[in-house]
Amino acid sequence: MHDCCHEAQQEKGMSHKDPVCGMDVSKDTQYQTEYKGQWYGFCCEGCLIKFNKDQDMYLSGKPRPEPTAAAGAKYICPMCPGVESDSPDICPKCGMALEPEAFVPPSKKTEYICPMHPEVVEESPGSCPVCGMALEARTVVLEEENPELDDMSR
């Protein structure tokens, strides 16, 4: 995906609005499409993709529902990597509204271990091959910190 095309704002002769984000765009933008016989220009590939997914929503003139965020969420610019804020704001690079960062809960994996032989770890329930006891479930969060991996990654 392309970086934010805020450089396009500096071009001369802009007279068209991006229907997704409202930025001024040049008639010769590389991000353009035709819909129902009408030409539309976009500031970047991201806005063009959003428009093509639901043209009528962007052309209806109705306010789009604002994305909601959980308490303490970060807000990011969908077009400019690295731009973030603790509250809703405007991107200083391209002028788009910052959106709540998508929260992806950490993946969980269940492992089964023997209470008497912790070295026995299985991916499914069953019996310990050493003593025959039933294996107990242990949930592991895959996204937790791993200092050993951090040391090896440097």
Clarify whether residues 62 and 116 are in a common domain.
Answer: no
Query: Domain span at residue 133?
Result: 108-153
Smallest CA-to-CA distance from 25 within 48, 3, 53 is with 48
Same domain for 148 and 73: no
Query: Domain check: are 117 and 88 in the same one?
Result: no
Question: Residue holding tokens 């951090």?
Answer: 150
Residue 90 and residue 33 share a domain: yes
Residue 1: inside a domain, yes or no? no
Number of domains in the chain: 2
Pair 142, 92 in one domain: no
Whole-number Å distance between alpha carbons of 48 and 45 = 5
- 145 or 85, higher pLDDT: 85
pTM for this model (two decimals): 0.38
Q: Which of 81, 100, 119 is the last residue of a domain?
A: 100
Give the model confidence (pLDDT) of 62-91 as tens digits.
655 555 555 667 888 888 888 888 887 888
The answer to whether position 62 is within a domain reads yes
Same domain, 92 and 145: no
| Cβ contact 80:91 at 8 Å | yes
Read off the amino acid at residue 91: C
- Residue 146 has what pLDDT? 67
- 113 with 140, same domain: the answer is yes
9-30 per-position pLDDT tens digit: 444 444 688 888 878 888 888 9
Residue 42 has pLDDT above 60, yes or no: yes
